[in-house]
Amino acid sequence: MEYYSKQISDLIGELSSLPGIGVKSAQRMAFHILHMPKDRAKSLAEAILSARENVQFCKECFTLTDREICPICASKKRNKKVIMVVEDTRDLVAYEKVGKYEGVYHVLNGTMNPMQGIGPNDIKIKELFERLSKEDVEEVIIATNSTTEGEATAMYITKLIKPSGIKVSRIASGVPVGGDLECIDEVTLLRALEGRQEL
């Protein structure tokens, strides 16, 4: 039995397809949107469309940005000799909130996961090695999550970088196993960064 009209049901369906949004949350959000002033609803829709059309990968680090080169890569204050490898843009933001890291990043946009058919060619590993061959890099900090996939990706990258003579380090413990970087507080992230060990 249909409880709502087609348009309301469609809105709830679209919202509930977002990660972490169940049907009840989607219903609350849908009714909130329906009660918004029309100009606010229009602004929300335009922001979604604009972001989808204009956000792209930074040509250097592959984070999400609305510019060709993101502000971090464009900054002359950043130490380009140190690259931190993270899984996604949310992890980059988590480290930026710490406010102590002065190097640049490389965003993999995923991890290797053979069970799901995701190999090294499906994430930005090749692009990392292209950067290392062109730039004068002294250290690569691997800051993938402490999941099975994150650890496997870290080991794969380490194995390939080691012969080049570039220092490779891994963020220290303090980041819980199975934890996502975006959910961890700044103090824990800072301790993990400062306690990193060479691999």
Q: Which of 28, 27, 3 is nearest to 13 (CA)?
A: 27
What local confidence, expressed as pLDDT, does residue 189 receive?
72
Query: Do residues 149 and 181 share a domain?
Result: yes
What local confidence, expressed as pLDDT, does residue 197 receive?
62
What local confidence, expressed as pLDDT, does residue 148 receive?
83
What local confidence, expressed as pLDDT, does residue 33 receive?
95
What local confidence, expressed as pLDDT, does residue 185 receive?
67
Domain membership of residue 77 (yes or no) is: yes
Domain membership of residue 1 (yes or no) is: no
Burial letters 182-197, b for 16+ CB under 10 A, else e: bebeeebbbbbbeebe
Count how many domains the chain has: 2
CB of 69 closer than 8 Å to CB of 57: no
Show the tokens assigned to 178: 């199975």
Q: Which of 19, 35, 54 is the last residue of a domain?
A: 54
User: Which domain does 120 fall in, by range?
Assistant: 64-198
Phi first, then psi: give them for residue 56, nearest 5 degrees: -145, 180
Query: Do residues 69 and 163 share a domain?
Result: yes
CB of 159 closer than 8 Å to CB of 185: no
What local confidence, expressed as pLDDT, does residue 2 receive?
67
Mean pLDDT per 10-residue section of the chain, whose length is 199 residues: 81 93 94 95 95 95 95 95 95 91 95 88 93 92 88 91 91 64 68 67
What local confidence, expressed as pLDDT, does residue 178 receive?
62
Query: Do residues 75 and 49 share a domain?
Result: no
Domain membership of residue 21 (yes or no) is: yes
Q: Which strand (E) or helix (H) includes residue 120?
A: none
Query: Do residues 43 and 103 share a domain?
Result: no
Q: What is the pTM of this model?
A: 0.78
Q: How many CA atoms lie within 13 A of 112 on its CB side?
A: 13
Domain membership of residue 38 (yes or no) is: yes
Query: Do residues 23 and 105 share a domain?
Result: no
What local confidence, expressed as pLDDT, does residue 199 receive?
63
Domain membership of residue 188 (yes or no) is: yes
Domain membership of residue 59 (yes or no) is: no
What local confidence, expressed as pLDDT, does residue 176 receive?
60
Query: Do residues 97 and 41 share a domain?
Result: no
Residue-level length of the chain = 199
Q: Give CA separation, 29 vs 3, 6, 14, 39, in Å.
A: 16, 16, 11, 17
